[in-house]
Amino acid sequence: MSGAFGIRLEARRRPVWSVTHLASGLRATPGGTGFCNVELAKVFAERLMALTDWSCIDPTTDNEQLGDQVAAIWNELISQDVRKTLSQHYGHELDRPWSKPRAAARRHK
């Protein structure tokens, strides 16, 4: 648990760590998604805590600016999560190319 947010493991075909706003019961992680890495779920919750006073949030009122900020944090961290998961699963460093670049094919006349 991280302040106003709870973190839990959801058992699915691919287990994920989801983040929920405890006061409203609403998920902070989009849709049915979550993080493969619990540490990134914790970072997500911590970074959300810094955005606003979550005890004053009305879940029935849209706050587009706050939603955009949450989405930006999600996008940043989920890309790290995917990179880390792929690297662990396939044993490949994602900072280097998957294969050698091919030379352009030559046309025969």
Please check whether residue 67 lies inside any domain of the structure: yes
What domain range is 82 assigned to? 5-52+63-90
Q: Does residue 106 form part of some domain? A: no
| pLDDT string in tens for the chain (109-residue length) | 458 999 999 887 888 999 999 988 888 998 778 999 999 999 999 999 999 888 888 777 888 898 899 999 999 999 988 888 888 777 766 555 555 555 555 655 5
104 lies in some domain: no
Prediction pTM value? 0.75
> How many domains does the chain divide into?
1
**pLDDT score of 87:** 80
Task: List % helix, strand, coil for the chain (3-state, nearest 5).
Answer: 40, 15, 50
The Cα 18–Cα 44 span in angstroms is 10
Structure confidence at residue 40 (pLDDT): 94
Distance CA 47, CA 28 (A): 12
Helices 64-90 and 38-49: crossing angle in degrees, nearest 10, is 160
Report yes or no on 15 lying in a domain.
yes
pLDDT of residue 99: 53
Q: Judge whether 21 lies within some domain.
A: yes
Question: Would 48 be classed as within a structural domain?
Answer: yes
- Is residue 109 one of the residues assigned to a domain? no
In a domain, 36, yes or no: yes
